[in-house]
Amino acid sequence: MNLDSLITGFDRGLRTLFAPAATLRPIPGEEMHENQMSAEEKRLSASLMRINHSGEICAQALYQGQAMTAKNPEIAGSLEKASWEETEHLAWTETRIRELGGRKSLLNPFWYVGSLAIGAGVGYIGDRWNLGFLAETERQVERHLASHLTRLPLQDEKSRAIVEQMKIDEVQHATMAVSLGGAELPFPAKIAMKLTSRVMTGITFRI
Ligand SMILES: [Fe+2]
Ligand SMILES: [Fe+2]
């Protein structure tokens, strides 16, 4: 890694954390009506969308870290492209949090740096494992989003539309990683990832 890519990476990090994210696709559910919700329901939706927003911050950092250390330039290119696609998810969740009167997690800089380090570390191990890790991350995110669809208030159709579309995209990211040659991770690694994300989501629900 040279100084140039280090500076570019640092710049990307600052923008991910502090600049409003852009989206090319329209925000899912944008055209829908804002249904009546109680203050309690709004708070729950905002907390769940805050978790999803932090998850997207982590996804960006993971992809960026993995792209920085991927050995094969073609794989690095695909990772780079996927990381840009995740910015749309960032934009959607950020907008929805604002609409619900919530706030983003105060721990995002912390999650970002941690995920960047994990991504870069996994990238060093080798491309097959790098992609395998990515596929497993996306699968776990998909299951996590499915669980949010059972927890979000039924009348919060706007948040639901966003989560539904993100779920579809994450499945595609997992498929991409497998088709590029991702290996199946050993079971203990999957469990460790699950436990880490459980701790992170638990904390982000509040902070
Ligand atoms: Fe995403
Ligand atoms: Fe993804």
DSSP string across 74-94? HHHHHHHHHHHHHHHHHHHHH
The closest alpha carbon to 38, from 148, 170, 162, 153, belongs to 153
Cα 153 to ligand 2 centre (Å): 24
- The tally of domains found in the chain comes to 1
Going from the Cα of 138 to the center of ligand 2, the distance in angstroms, rounded, reads 6
Tens-digit pLDDT profile for residues 51-78? 999 999 988 888 888 888 877 888 888 8
Please state the pTM of the whole predicted model.
Answer: 0.86
Comparison of pLDDT for 119 and 89, the residue scoring more: 89
CA of 150 to the centre of ligand 1 (A): 19
Q: Is 181 inside a domain boundary?
A: yes
pLDDT confidence band for 191 (50 / 70 / 90) = confident
pLDDT at 8: 67
What is the tens place of the pLDDT at every residue in 125-167? 888 888 898 899 999 999 999 999 999 999 999 999 999 999 9
Amino acid at 26: P
CA–centroid distance, 125 to ligand 2, in Å, is 21
In a domain, 28, yes or no: no
- Residue that has been written with the tokens 């690694």 in this structure: 189
Q: What residues flank ion ligand 1 with Cβ within 5 A?
A: 59, 86, 89
Query: What CATH number has the domain bearing residue 43?
Result: 1.20.1260.10
Confidence of residue 197 (pLDDT cuts 50, 70, 90): confident
Establish if 12 belongs to a structural domain.
no
Residue 171 domain-assigned (yes or no): yes
106 is a domain residue: yes
Of 21 and 91, the structure prediction assigns the larger pLDDT to 91
Residue 18 lies in a domain: no
CA of 193 to the centre of ligand 2 (A): 15
CA 166–ligand 1 middle distance (angstroms)? 6
Tell me the residue range of the domain where 164 lies: 39-204
Residue 93 lies in a domain: yes
Whether pLDDT at 2 is above 70? no
Distance 86 CA to ligand 2 centre (A): 6
Mean pLDDT, rounded, for 186-204: 81
> Is there a domain that residue 199 lies in?
yes
Q: Examine the pLDDT at 195 and tell me if it is beyond 90.
A: no
